[in-house]
Structure 1
Amino acid sequence: MIAYGYARVSTIDQDLTIQQRALRSSGCRVIRAEKASGSRRDGRTELALLLDFLNAGDTLVVTRIDRLARSLKDLQDIVHELKAKGVALRATEQPVDTGTAAGKAFLDMLGVFAEFETNLRRERQLEGIAAAKARGVYRGRKPSIDVTEVKRLKEFGLGPTAIARKLGIGRASVYRALEVG
């Protein structure tokens, strides 16, 4: 049995050191780590690499289940993939053992709470934005595309690809800017 560790934090200013240390002390020689949101799997290249690499008899180790997934569906999908490959899942800080009915039930409960926490955070954020808008403090993100500059470059004779390169924006953004006004 080979134990492979996976560590994740959500933002670039957070530190992975504590998770990596815990994974190493639990026997993981290979640890993949990334700074990415746990609410979706896309963009989590280190997790995808590990899931592709693991073989029957291996164990995927995380410090806590919420480091692996923040939605119940995503967690269940990952556990299903691991089970199909014959890979066990273990958490160093939680009594998770996917080989028993009690361990699986506990894992599902943790997934429900992780998703609940994510939804609560999202609701609080939206409430805060609404309150800031009501006070006139929040106006949203400033536009990143200067529509007048896009139109000026178009009038100058540049095509959408050249405009996108010059301004460092996507070609679709150029088309949208040209449709405005």
Structure 2
Amino acid sequence: MKYGYARVSTSDQDLTIQETALQKAGCEIIRGEKVSGTSREGRQELDTLLQFLRPGDSLLVTRIDRLARSISDLQDIVRYLEDKKVSLICTQQPIDTSNAVGKMFLNLLGVFAQFETELRKERQLEGIAKAKVDGVYKGRKQSYDH
């Protein structure tokens, strides 16, 4: 059986494009959530899907970065799927973990997803440092009263 997982990072983004692609790929059940992919924390829909999958099933995502943004999370998920004898398939990338070429592409794209996340974090920190020097950045507003 094919199960789909769709994810966007923020509540103002839309899951429709991913859900439509997963339906076209033959997914009978699709779980979606609006939460950051940089961590597994708080991703209840993904956890539910992972627990539900059975040997011979396939987990489909549109792109690998919808599943994980860090190589360690991706590897943990893939190991979990392999242990359950479940394949991972991406609809927009040449990934199908039921074969060697698909596994190779999975690992390559996982490295690039993590690299992109780390670059984004570096740019953010550089921007904050510059804003502090320019006197523009004052930090986050106090969230509680003393």
TM-score range, shorter chain: over 0.9
Which amino acid in 2 is paired with 1:48? D
What is the TM-score with the length of structure 2 in the denominator? 0.98
Q: State the identity %.
A: 65
1:67 is matched with 66
Counterparts of residues 118-129 of structure 1 (less than 5 Å) = 118-129=117-128
Distance 1:133 1:127 in 2: 10
CA distance in 1, matches of 2:31, 2:99: 26
Aligned to 2:59, the other structure's residue is in SS state strand
Distance in 1 of aligned mates of 2:7 and 2:139:
29
- Runs (4+) of structure 1 moved beyond 4 Å? none
Name the structure 2 match of 1:157.
none
- Distance apart, 1:111 and its partner CA: 0.2
Deviation at 1:29, TM superposition (A): 1.7
Aligned counterparts, 1:1-150, within 5 A:
2-147=1-146
Structure 1, unmatched stretches of 5+, are 148-181
Amino acid in structure 2 at the alignment position of 1:67: R
Which runs of 5 or more structure 2 residues have no equivalent in the other structure?
Answer: none
Report the CA distance between 1:103 and its aligned residue.
1.3
Whole-angstrom CA distance in 2 between matches of 1:29 and 1:13: 26
Aligned length: 146
Within 1, Cα distance between the matches of 2:109 and 2:95?
Answer: 9
Structure that is richer in helix per residue: 1
Structure-1-length-normalised TM-score: 0.79
Distance 1:54 1:107 in 2: 20
CA distance in 2, matches of 1:112, 1:46: 24
The amino acid of 2:123's aligned partner reads R
Structure with bigger RCO (C-alpha 8 Å, 6+ apart):
2
- Write the distance in 2 (CA, Å) between the matches of 1:81 and 1:97: 15
SS at match of 1:137: coil
Q: 1:67-104, CA deviations, whole angstroms, 9 ceiling, x for partnerless residues?
A: 00001111010000001001011000001011222211
* Counterpart-to-counterpart distance in 1, 2:56 and 2:93: 21
Give the structure with higher Rg (CA): 1
Distance 2:104 2:27 in 1: 25
* Partner Cα separation in structure 2 for residue 80 and residue 56 of structure 1: 13
